[in-house]
């Protein structure tokens, strides 16, 4: 296989898509090397192993998703409803991959990792706690703090459940309806 010069950023983005499609456990270093068009040794130039790569992928996703949430929450032109609608729109695009939802990489990774002690699990927890924190901030504009926090957790649960059903039944209406309910609160 010819060795192609790639950047760490390219490796992260392409690896993210492959792992999102196949899952962490079903993706081998060989699969990654083939997808990236690089030799395995080139992969190890950037990463110690697959767990190290996963930490970087999840950190990358956490950073990008946090930036999206922060821009929405801090947008002075949007009221609470506008923020929720913008968030729902971003989430729909973020989780739609070529017209087919692969679900939430963070949730999929958490489920695949049950009973394991992977170094990347704190990043998965941080992703969900960050999501809840930003949703709570949005809901706090309209509701008391305790109710806003409860609603944020409920919205996340509904969203993740909708992603699961969308993927299971290949019916995007589950996700669309959940996002409409979240946006209308």
Indicate the pTM of the whole model.
Answer: 0.88
The whole-angstrom separation of Cα 85 and Cα 148 is 16
Task: Write phi, then psi, for 100 (nearest 5 degrees).
Answer: -135, 125
Structure letter (DSSP) for residue 75: -
Question: How much is the pLDDT for 98?
Answer: 46
Mean pLDDT of 136-154: 97
What is the CATH class of 49-183?
Answer: mainly alpha
Question: How much is the pLDDT for 102?
Answer: 72
Q: Give the three-state DSSP class for 96.
A: strand
Question: How much is the pLDDT for 170?
Answer: 84
Question: How much is the pLDDT for 1?
Answer: 44
Task: Inform me whether the pLDDT recorded for 3 exceeds 70.
Answer: no
Digit-coded pLDDT (tens) for 19-55: 988 999 999 999 999 998 888 888 888 889 999 999 9
Confidence of residue 93 (pLDDT cuts 50, 70, 90): confident
Digit-coded pLDDT (tens) for 104-144: 889 989 999 989 999 999 999 999 999 999 999 999 999 99
In CATH terms, the fold of domain 1-47 is Arc Repressor Mutant, subunit A (1.10.10)
Q: In the chain, what are the domain boundaries?
A: 1-47, 49-183
Question: How much is the pLDDT for 131?
Answer: 96
Task: Inform me whether the pLDDT recorded for 2 exceeds 60.
Answer: no
The whole-angstrom separation of Cα 123 and Cα 54 is 10
58 touches 109 (CB < 8 A): yes
Question: How much is the pLDDT for 96?
Answer: 65
Higher pLDDT, residue 173 or 96:
173
- Give the chain's count of helices (H) and strands (E): 9, 2
Mean pLDDT of 161-182: 89
Mean pLDDT of 13-20: 90
The whole-angstrom separation of Cα 2 and Cα 148 is 54
Beta strands in 47-166 (DSSP E): 96-97, 100-101
Q: Which residues contact 154 (CB under 8 A, 6 or more apart)?
A: none
Digit-coded pLDDT (tens) for 53-86: 999 999 999 999 999 999 999 999 999 999 999 9
Query: What dihedral do alpha carbons 13, 16, 18, 22 form, nearest 10°?
Result: -170
Burial of 30 from C-beta contacts in 10 A (0-12 / 13-18 / 19+) = exposed
Spatial CA neighbour of 102 closest among 133, 138, 61, 141: 61
Question: How much is the pLDDT for 147?
Answer: 98
């Amino acid at each position: 296989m010819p060795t192609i010069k790639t950047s760490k950023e390219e490796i992260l983005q392409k690896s993210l898509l492959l792992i999102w499609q196949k899952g962490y456990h079903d993706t081998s270093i060989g699969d990654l090397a083939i997808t990236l068009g690089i030799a395995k040794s080139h992969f190890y130039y950037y990463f110690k192993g697959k767990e190290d790569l996963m930490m970087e992928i999840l950190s990358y996703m956490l950073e990008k998703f946090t930036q999206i949430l922060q821009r929405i929450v801090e947008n002075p032109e949007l009221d609470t409803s506008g923020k929720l609608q913008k968030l729902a729109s971003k989430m729909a695009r973020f989780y739609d991959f070529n017209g087919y939802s692969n679900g939430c990489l963070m949730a999929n990774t958490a489920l695949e990792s049950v009973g394991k002690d992977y170094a990347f699990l704190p990043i998965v927890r941080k992703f969900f706690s960050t999501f809840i924190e930003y949703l709570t901030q949005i809901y706090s504009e309209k509701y008391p703090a305790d109710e806003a926090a409860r609603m944020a957790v409920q919205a996340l649960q509904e969203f993740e459940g909708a992603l699961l059903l969308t993927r299971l039944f290949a019916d995007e209406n589950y996700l669309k309806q959940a996002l409409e309910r979240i946006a209308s609160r």
